[in-house]
Amino acid sequence: MLSPSSIFANELKVYNSKSGTKEAFVPLKEGYVGMYVCGPTVYSNVHLGNCRTFISFDIIFRYLSHLGFKVRYVRNITDVGHLENDADEGEDKIAKKARIEELEPMEIVQKYTVDFHQTLNQFNVLAPSIEPTATGHIIEQIEIIKSIIEKGYAYEKNGSIYFDVIAFNASHDYGKLSGRNIEEMRSETRSLSAQDEKKNPQDFALWKKTSAKHIMRWPSPWGEGFPGWHIECTAMSSKYLGDQFDIHGGGMDLKFPHHECEIAQAEAHTDKNPVKYWLHANMLTLNGKKMSKSTDNNIYPFEIFSGENKLLSKTYTPAVVRFFMLQAHYTSILDLSDNALTAAEKGYQRLSEALELLKNLSSSHTSSINIQQWVADCYAAMNDDFNTPMLIAKLFEACKFIQAIKDEKESISKEDLNILQKNIREFTADVLGVQFESSKSSKESSKLISPLVEMLLEERDLARENKDYQKSDEIRDKLKQLGIEIKDSKEGTTFSFNK
């Protein structure tokens, strides 16, 4: 484990969305990193775009920890206050889903929080240090709102509290993260019924008074209501990381208004700049288009793993999908397609096979390969704003070393072999979080699965004898979705596992 004072840690640079440049990473407290990432609003199954964001920050968490920093990683659960269309008017997303599914709101929260955790576990995403919920921090949110009102940056109207953007902007810079100005925001503001309560169209809700039919409500100095979406993250990040911390992350779509509002709230409350580095992960598209349920251009992780979708030709494992996600820099748009996943799967298998070869390589007295330079290049890749595609390129370079050593075209000393084995393991498993199934365990799995497949094929043969072709086709199709191809011939039926 490297110490934070090492040359590798000192060379880390990150792209700060606020400055628009890469900056040397120097934490507020030497050796320690505070990182907050906006978590999901738990009203539906977690979608693949969300997963890309959380995988991106999992890499950042892993690499900072690998460098030796003590990282406190806070990722929240939004379980109240996030209204439809990210607006200040309308129905709470969780309450709406509870009404549709005829469940209590907290049943919806529990159902989709479990789904979120199970999905991220499949992607081998590490749990954060702390995972607070919005409903568990209502008191903290109310106290911050009271402070903002006392300082003249918020006002009450009909039991709701709004942040006064114009008053704040007179002494601060609202829009510095997104690069927007007040007049631009004024022209873009939608006409909503809640605007009648606001002094300015740019103002946003800190606390909303509940209607008679609103299910989720809490007592406050202004009457019963619920918190605004933005205030939740300000309360939870400051409680666990302090008034100022190192990294705030999230999806690019949160930069405005969510993160812009967080900065304003925090500065109004403490008069301090809350975050040193703002990091944003870019979107995931599908077949070159934005993911959308309305156009049926959408796919969930479980649909990829099971093959129960109309967009892909076969199943892909969570490990392959994670490896695919790392093919592009986290700040770049990444397009998911059958061809892209197939290419990622081939790369994944190539790396897996090289790791198997590496276990049995023989060393010699001298090295013809500069392993120390290769290691330095790997760190240089990750120190360039967590550049995973560049690191993967270096790992594929190592695959060539390994094959050449096996073929006795290159030589490696015992010391260098140990360095190669240690570092390639750390960069693949610890930093990238990519899991590989060893050939031994793969063979053992095949031994267990094969008898079950044969039993299904016997059922299929019986169905065909009885001319129940629908059942026969269903068995064939289900096996194909699971990555098992069957082939009928005069000699009988055989099967094989797709790679």
- Tell me, what DSSP letter sits at residue 224? S
Q: In sequence order, what are the beta bridge partners of 489?
A: 492
Separation in Å, CA 474 to CA 308, 457, 471:
13, 11, 5
Work out the mean pLDDT of the chain and round it to a whole number: 90
pLDDT in tens, 366-415: 999 999 999 999 999 999 999 999 999 999 999 999 999 999 999 999 99
In the predicted structure, residue 220 carries a pLDDT above the cut 60: yes
> Is the peptide bond preceding residue 451 cis, with omega within 30 degrees of 0?
no
Separation in Å, CA 442 to CA 159, 318, 439, 447, 481:
62, 16, 5, 9, 19
Closest by CA position to 107, among listed 216, 225, 220: 216
pLDDT in tens, 456-469: 888 888 888 888 88
DSSP-based helix, strand, coil % in the chain, nearest 5: 50, 15, 35
pLDDT band at 269 (very low <50, low <70, confident <90, very high): very high
Closest by CA position to 232, among listed 322, 148, 138: 138
In the predicted structure, residue 69 carries a pLDDT above the cut 70: yes
pLDDT band at 477 (very low <50, low <70, confident <90, very high): confident
Q: Exposed, middle or buried by CB within 10 Å (0-12, 13-18, 19+), for 268?
A: buried
Least confident window among 305-309, 404-408, 478-482: 478-482
Closest by CA position to 336, among listed 318, 348, 315, 321: 321
pLDDT in tens, 171-186: 999 999 999 888 766 6
Structure tokens at 18: 């606020």
**For helices 414-425 and 338-359, what crossing angle results, to 10°?**
150
The answer to whether 155 touches 149, Cβ cutoff 8 Å, is: yes
What pLDDT sits at residue 193? 44
Measured from the Cβ of residue 15, the count of other Cβ atoms closer than 10 Å reads 19
What pLDDT sits at residue 438? 60
Beta strands in 190-253 (DSSP E): 204-209, 225-227, 245-251
Name the residue type at position 29. K
